[in-house]
């Protein structure tokens, strides 16, 4: 999506759509809101007539079109909902509704009347970026397997700062341009995350990382089975051994721009992703219903991949190490089994009681390898780890489990800015007790089915040493499937949604 910046009002731009935002009117608002006065005059009173008939009121998700004389150009009015709940997220969602409802309506260039979006204390540039989020993400469709032509949507957004105003200053443009780079990474990641497991094998995913690094300041190392064996990564090898597609651990290093001339980047942050290209459960086989959704069990790793792309394109002054553990969890003659004991990279032994608790087994190697090899200042992992987290928090909020209050606070504030919701949950002494094994250091599954998201986190904490660490359980938020379909944000179409990329980019930008 292209973005340009102009002074004057949206109507002065000549674009085929001029967009105005409207908050929900109260009972006493009988007159057409003042923001629409000019547009009303230009349409010869169509807006005030429709307003009087209550054809539009500014309610959330409402998109109305009014032709300008000649019929070629249109006024677009989007409802933002209640004034009290007005926020950046409301603007982002409005963008999502617009993207869907304007598809095929002949509006390719959309001029945005910015003053109508910057109510209260909202910053103009941030509102513009949020609208761009919604318009871009809401328009996304995974089209790889579709033969029919897509309906045409908006290809350019023109940010008009209102009558009498000058075009946006450089800082405003910089923020919008930054967001466009992040969105490019999100769309790219969605195309990969949506690929089914017959295409997106561990080898394929490693290849994507190598291709991503071409022409970017990223160093990629792919550890294949032979190398993983030499290193003693017994977890990822065990999980992947039932598949004809062998596992891969992929490391991506972004050195980071020096924070000062001649200096070094501010910090080293490791981001780690669970990359199960398909999770059948293995010998502890899952039921058939919706098992196909387990092609999205690589979502954490795809988020890492997308974040690495954005971080490199943004040129942030922070060193970022991306680690992805790719394996396919299938039952077969070579599979790992319940009862097996495997040894992770850091030497700890894991008793496998359920082969379907495979994510933590893969992450045991990824987490311990990255903390030992790169000594990061902090580690953040993303994983579609537990159904229990979906039970606890549903499909709009990811679980945050962490050993660091400072890291958690920073992640929560980045989350508030991007609308990717997190909720912190505790890891207590009880959870540590619960994952102790009779015969090994730790067990991968607990017989009593309580606090499943938290015992999984307690397990992971065994593999990060003293490094400040945060774990994001994105099982409910990574993709829009059968469970959450009708509750998804309007800018998150069905399938893989790239949860975490905007959040991590925000986090890393602020860290820098």
Binding site for Zn ion (CB under 5 A): 276, 279, 297, 359
- The nearest distance, CB 480 to ligand BES, in angstroms, is 12
| Residue 473 contacts which entry, ligand BES, Zn ion, Mn ion, none (Cβ below 5-8 A, type-dependent) | none
Question: From CA 8, how far away is CA 114, in angstroms rounded?
Answer: 10
d(C-alpha 368, C-alpha 366), whole Å? 6
* By the rule CB under 6 A, 388 interacts with ligand BES: yes
Token digits of residue 479: 């993709």
Task: Calculate the alpha carbon distances from 369 to 253, 274, 294 in Å.
Answer: 14, 14, 26
In angstroms, the CA 328 to CA 351 distance is 19
- Candidates 178, 286, 348, 424; catalytic one: 286
Within residues 9-48, the interface with Mn ion by CB under 5 A covers none
Q: 275 forms bridges with which residues in the sheet? A: 326
Q: Give the interface segment with ligand BES, choosing from 150-158, 263-271, 352-360, 430-438 (CB under 6 A).
A: 352-360
From ligand BES, Mn ion, Zn ion, none, which one binds at residue 62 (CB under 5 to 8 Å depending on kind)? none
Among 87, 118, 386, 477, binds ligand BES (CB under 6 A): 386
Residue with tokens 């000649």: 70
- Other CB atoms within 10 A of residue 441 CB: 17
Answer with the entry of Zn ion, Mn ion, ligand BES, none that 362 interacts with (C-beta below 5 to 8 A by kind).
Answer: none
Q: Is 360 a catalytic residue?
A: yes
Residue 221 vs 354, nearer CB to ligand BES: 354
Binding test (CB under 6 A) with ligand BES, winner from 133, 358, 378, 420: 358
426: exposed, middle or buried (C-beta count within 10 Å: 0-12, 13-18, 19+)?
A: exposed
CB atoms within 10 A of CB 20: 23
Rounded distance, CA 128 to CA 114, Å?
7
Q: Which residues pair with 349 in a beta bridge?
A: 343
Place of tokens 């996304």: 140
Residue of this chain nearest to Zn ion (CB atom): 279
Q: Which of 113, 279, 340, 473 is close enough to bind Mn ion by CB under 5 A?
A: 279
**What is the closest distance, in whole angstroms, from the C-beta atom of residue 382 to ligand BES in the complex?**
12
Secondary structure of residue 128 in the 3-state scheme: helix
The residue among 269 and 324 lying less far from Zn ion, judged by its C-beta, is 324
3-state secondary structure 307-333: HHHHHHHHCCCCEEEEEEEEEEECCCC
Choose from Mn ion, ligand BES, Zn ion, none: what does 388 bind? Cβ within 5-8 Å by kind.
ligand BES
Residue range at the interface with Mn ion (CB under 5 A); choices 19-27, 47-55, 272-280, 403-411: 272-280
**Of positions 445, 461, 462, 477, contacts ligand BES by CB under 6 A:** 445
- In the bound state, the residue with its beta carbon closest to Mn ion is 356
Q: Per-residue DSSP letters for 327-355?
A: EEE--STT---TT-EEE-TTS-EEE-S-T
Candidates 2-10, 23-31, 309-317, 386-394: pick the segment binding ligand BES (CB under 6 A). 386-394
Cβ closer to ligand BES: 155 or 428?
428
> How many Cα atoms occupy the beta-carbon half-sphere of 429 within 13 Å?
0
Token pair belonging to 97: 């509704």
Among 279, 340, 351, 378, the residue binding ligand BES under the rule CB under 6 A is: 279
Cβ closer to Zn ion: 276 or 316? 276
Active-site residue, 54 included? no
Start-to-end C-alpha separation, the chain: 27
Q: Tell me how far apart the alpha carbons of residues 20 and 252 are, in angstroms, rounded to a whole number.
A: 43
Tokens of 179: 């967001």
| Alpha-carbon span 450 to 433, nearest angstrom | 13
Q: Of the listed pieces 18-26, 105-113, 350-358, 401-409, which binds ligand BES according to CB under 6 A?
A: 350-358
Out of 62, 351, 356, 420, name the contact with Mn ion by CB under 5 A. Answer: 356
Least Å distance between CB 281 and Mn ion?
Answer: 6
Q: Least distance to ligand BES from the beta carbon of 350, Å?
A: 13
Alpha helices (H) along 375-467? 387-393, 405-418, 429-434, 452-461
Do you know the residue count of the chain?
512
Catalytic pick from 190, 248, 309, 360?
360
User: Shortest approach of Zn ion to residue 33 CB, angstroms?
Assistant: 50
- Least distance to Mn ion from the beta carbon of 293, Å? 12
Q: Which are the catalytic amino acids?
A: 286, 360
Applying CB under 5 A, the residues found at the interface with Mn ion are 279, 356, 358
The residue ranges that bind ligand BES (CB under 6 A) are 279, 297, 354, 356-359, 384-388, 390, 445, 452, 475
């Amino acid at each position: 999506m292209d973005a340009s910046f102009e002074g004057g009002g949206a109507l002065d731009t000549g674009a085929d759509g001029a967009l105005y935002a409207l908050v929900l009117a109260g009972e006493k608002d009988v007159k057409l809101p003042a923001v629409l006065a000019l547009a009303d005059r230009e349409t010869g009173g169509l807006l005030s007539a429709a307003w009087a008939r209550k054809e539009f009121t500014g309610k959330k998700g409402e998109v109305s079109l009014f032709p300008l004389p000649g019929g070629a150009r249109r006024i677009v009015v989007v409802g933002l909902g209640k004034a009290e709940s007005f926020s950046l997220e409301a603007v982002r969602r409005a963008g999502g509704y617009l993207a869907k409802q304007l598809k095929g309506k002949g509006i390719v260039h959309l001029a945005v009347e910015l003053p109508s979006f910057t109510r209260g204390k909202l910053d103009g540039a941030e509102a513009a970026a949020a609208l761009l989020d919604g318009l871009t993400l809401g328009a996304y469709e995974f089209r790889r397997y579709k033969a029919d032509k897509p309906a045409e949507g908006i290809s350019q957004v023109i940010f008009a700062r209102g009558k009498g105003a000058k075009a946006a200053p450089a800082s405003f443009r910089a923020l919008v341009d930054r967001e466009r780079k992040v969105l490019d990474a999100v769309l790219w990641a969605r195309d990969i995350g949506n690929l089914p497991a017959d295409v997106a094998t561990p080898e394929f995913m490693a290849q994507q990382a190598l291709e991503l690094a071409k022409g970017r300041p990223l160093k990629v190392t792919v550890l294949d089975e032979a190398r993983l064996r030499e290193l003693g990564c017994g977890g990822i090898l065990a999980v992947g051994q039932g598949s004809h597609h062998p596992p891969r651990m992929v490391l991506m290093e972004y050195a980071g721009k020096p924070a000062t001339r001649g200096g070094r980047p501010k910090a080293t942050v490791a981001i780690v992703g669970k990359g199960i290209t398909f999770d059948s459960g293995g010998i502890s086989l899952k039921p058939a219903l919706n098992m196909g959704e387990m092609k999205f069990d690589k979502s954490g790793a795809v988020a890492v991949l997308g974040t690495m792309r954005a971080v490199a394109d943004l040129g942030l002054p922070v060193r970022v190490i991306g680690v992805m553990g790719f394996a396919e969890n299938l039952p077969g003659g070579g599979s790992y089994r319940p009862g097996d004991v495997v040894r992770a990279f850091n030497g700890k032994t894991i008793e496998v009681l359920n082969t379907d608790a495979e994510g933590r087994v893969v992450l045991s190697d990824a987490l311990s390898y990255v903390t030992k090899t790169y000594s990061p200042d902090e580690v953040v992992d993303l994983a579609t780890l537990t159904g229990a987290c979906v039970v606890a928090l549903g499909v709009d909020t990811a679980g945050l489990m962490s050993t660091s209050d400072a890291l958690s606070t920073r992640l929560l504030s980045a989350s508030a800015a991007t609308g990717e919701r997190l909720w912190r949950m505790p890891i207590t002494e009880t959870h540590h007790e619960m994952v102790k094994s009779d015969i090994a250091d730790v067990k991968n599954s607990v017989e009593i089915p309580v606090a499943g998201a938290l015992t999984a986190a307690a397990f992971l904490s065994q593999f990060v040493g003293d490094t400040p660490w945060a774990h994001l359980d994105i099982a409910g938020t990574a993709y829009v499937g059968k469970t959450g379909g009708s509750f998804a944000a309007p800018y998150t179409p069905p399938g893989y949604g790239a949860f975490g990329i905007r959040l991590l980019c925000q986090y890393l930008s602020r860290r820098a």
